[in-house]
Structure 1
Amino acid sequence: MSGIDALNSVRMVDGSSLTRRVTVSPGMCSSGSQIFGRIGDWTWEAVSAACGMNAHAATTADGRPAYLSFYYYRVRGGKTVHPHGLTFGDELRVCSRVFQIGSQSTLTLHRLAPAGLTVPEGPLDPEEVYERPHPDCMYAENFNRWIARSTPGSNQRLSEVTPPDFAYADLPRLPNRHSPRTPVGRARAAGSFYAEPPQGFVPAGPAHTTPYTLDVVRDLNGVGLVYFASYFSIFDTVLLGLWRSQGRSDEQFLRRKVAQQKVGYFGNADPGAALTISVNRWRSETAPDLEIADMAMHDAATNRLLAVTGIELEATPVPSPNA
């Protein structure tokens, strides 16, 4: 076995948990959405293993393709491991655990730890993720729902389904106090994760709206749906444009540190659809480098809400050339 193979090995811990050793490769690190896509792949693999099925080839009872769609995605960055801080050759220990959260859904938790860090062995404890996160680790929460197309060739009016071989009854239950259903439902109703301005923050400028046309080359996945990781990229593209309009450099954007990001997925769109992205931003009253961006994506033709995101980040200063 090669060194790379040894560092990318996967092991089942119990019926709901997997661990893996990972060497960060070019395809999973950047200032964009690659790491979010890779974590999503780990979610599909974990659900497949925990539920005794192939999530990549799932079908409905009548034979239509079924997809384990993303309804809510939350990532919390740590001091050492954070979404845009990974680079080639970094070594990680990843622990994943799948929970039941209804008959048509799963919730998967991930911990990304530096390979040499001492962390608890065994299945990932929700109390660690939600209440006692290790300051050096990155955590991800994926709430997924099974869906299928209601109309062939259309990405609108996707229906919730349950593949007949989806075996979820033996999965552990997530404690109700950690369920994302209520906060995500509120975000969907309000069109924002910040229905009220965050305490201790002041507006960082006026509200801003940007048009965006879905890119059929970059934004769609292999089955013609808008790829879940593309939502991260679309939001970041709009945020970068706003930074540039304020005189900030691309290097400042590349060095940003995401402390937490939440994405609620409420709809899909057809290729070439025209979208609008609205942005509100706040800056900390006590730490000017700390910012929050609140963004919502709508279908321009119907005003249908497709997604919202809340990004808590640190705008890391660019070092002086003489430093």
Structure 2
Amino acid sequence: MTRPRSEDLVEFDGKDTLTRRVTVSLAMCSAGSLVYAKMGDWTWEAVNFASAINVYTARRPDGLPVYLSFYYFRVSGSEGLYPNGITLGDELDVTSRVFDFGSQSVLTLHRISRAGTLPDQESLDPVEAYERPRPDCMYVETMNRWISRGDEKSNKGLVDASPVDFRHKHLSQLPTAYSPRSTARNARKNRSFFPSGLPGFAPKGAPFRTAYALDVARDLNGVRLVYFASYFSIADIALSRAWRASGRDDRHFIDRVALDCRLGFFANADPGAVFDIAVQIWQDERDPRHEFADIVISEQGSDQVIAVAGIRTLLRESDSATRGAA
């Protein structure tokens, strides 16, 4: 298949794979959550094609709305291509493949590359994404669950639901070894993707704690649930505060290379909610340029875990030098 020249034109192979060429616009690039929002749009778009239903207006049998919510989201990059390194005018090729994950869930893989660097017929195999990633590509893994409101006036008590006519059995199944189900489940249970830390990494100081009041003007989506991309922004806000508290400035935060970012979404929240956020930064004892941030977002008053994030970062040389001298 030939890749289209614009995001307005996409090609679908009739089963599970969607390709598109994207020009990075103002609406999808920033040091914050905009690029993750766009990746989420690509997931919804791919599932919309592959499942042959309108995911934007999906309904359960009794007619109430059903939403394709994000449960687990991971972006893996490299120094050549990483989420906060995408900038205005970049041209990207995006290949998206949707996998059968049952009647109430779906998993989507995306491969992002610089436009024209891969052959047009290059397929996306799970082995590539999970075991042999290309050094010049970025990979996105999203696990989504169909949910519906248990109480139409609240964002709490969301329930599993499957939309009418959701087609999934024709899709390929992801090998069990690659399934993120246990990864997300353990992150929720342990409040960390790496409860014992990463091998070779040591804690960099004590955990940093901060609070965040849910912003109803920015953090809610069109159906008044907390928008999944807002959690990326909230995690980054907490991390940037931790950076400032350690004596680093905003420029170093903007210049960081986010090599791996994973986020588990475990609950929603009502307007007026305040989040307690704990950030533990770990530093590679072999190479101080590499850091890992463990971030736990819980609701103030109930201590319910709302989301857990793990962000592995490569620091620029100037930042490493500054920190070494501090």
TM-score range, shorter chain: over 0.9
Residues 74-122 of structure 1 show CA distances to partners (whole Å, capped at 9, x for unaligned) of 0001232210001111111100000011220000000000013125724
What SS does the aligned partner of 1:261 have? strand
Matches within 5 A, 1:172-321: 172-318=172-318
Structure 2: distance between partners of 1:80 and 1:144: 28
Which residue is equivalent to 1:6? 5
Matches within 5 A, 1:27-38: 27-38=27-38
Structure 1, unaligned stretches of length 5 or more?
none
Which residue is equivalent to 2:324? none
Task: Give, as a single letter, the amino acid of the residue that structure 1 aligns with 2:147.
Answer: I
Structure 1: distance between partners of 2:165 and 2:302: 36
Task: Give, as a single letter, the amino acid of the residue that structure 1 aligns with 2:5.
Answer: A
RMSD of aligned alpha carbons? 1.4
Structure 2, unaligned stretches of length 5 or more?
322-326
Residues 60, 162 of structure 1: 8 Å contact kept: yes
Give 1:264 shift: 0.6
The number of aligned residues is 316
Task: Give, as a single letter, the amino acid of the residue that structure 2 aligns with 1:313.
Answer: T
Structure 2: distance between partners of 1:207 and 1:247: 15
Matches within 5 A, 1:138-157: 138-157=138-157
Structure 1: distance between partners of 2:313 and 2:14: 35
What SS does the aligned partner of 1:239 have? helix
Q: Which runs of 4+ in 1 moved over 2 A?
A: 5-9, 118-123, 317-320
Residues 68, 144 of structure 2: 8 Å contact kept: yes
Which residue is equivalent to 1:57? 57
Structure 2: distance between partners of 1:135 and 1:243: 28
Give 1:13 shift: 2.4
Residues 267, 306 of structure 1: 8 Å contact kept: yes
Residues 104, 162 of structure 1: 8 Å contact kept: yes
Task: Give, as a single letter, the amino acid of the residue that structure 1 aligns with 2:315.
Answer: A
Residues 75, 262 of structure 2: 8 Å contact kept: yes
Judge which range, 10-19 or 232-241, deviates more.
10-19
Residues 148-192 of structure 1 show CA distances to partners (whole Å, capped at 9, x for unaligned) of 000012000100000012111111100001000111111111111
Q: Report the TM-score, using the length of structure 2 for normalisation.
A: 0.94
Give 1:64 shift: 0.7
Task: Give, as a single letter, the amino acid of the residue that structure 2 aligns with 1:7.
Answer: S
1:100 and 2:100 are equivalent in the alignment: yes
Task: Give, as a single letter, the amino acid of the residue that structure 2 aligns with 1:215.
Answer: D
Give 1:270 shift: 0.3
Residues 79, 257 of structure 2: 8 Å contact kept: no
Q: 1:249 to 1:119 in 2, by over 3 A?
A: farther
What SS does the aligned partner of 1:6 have? coil
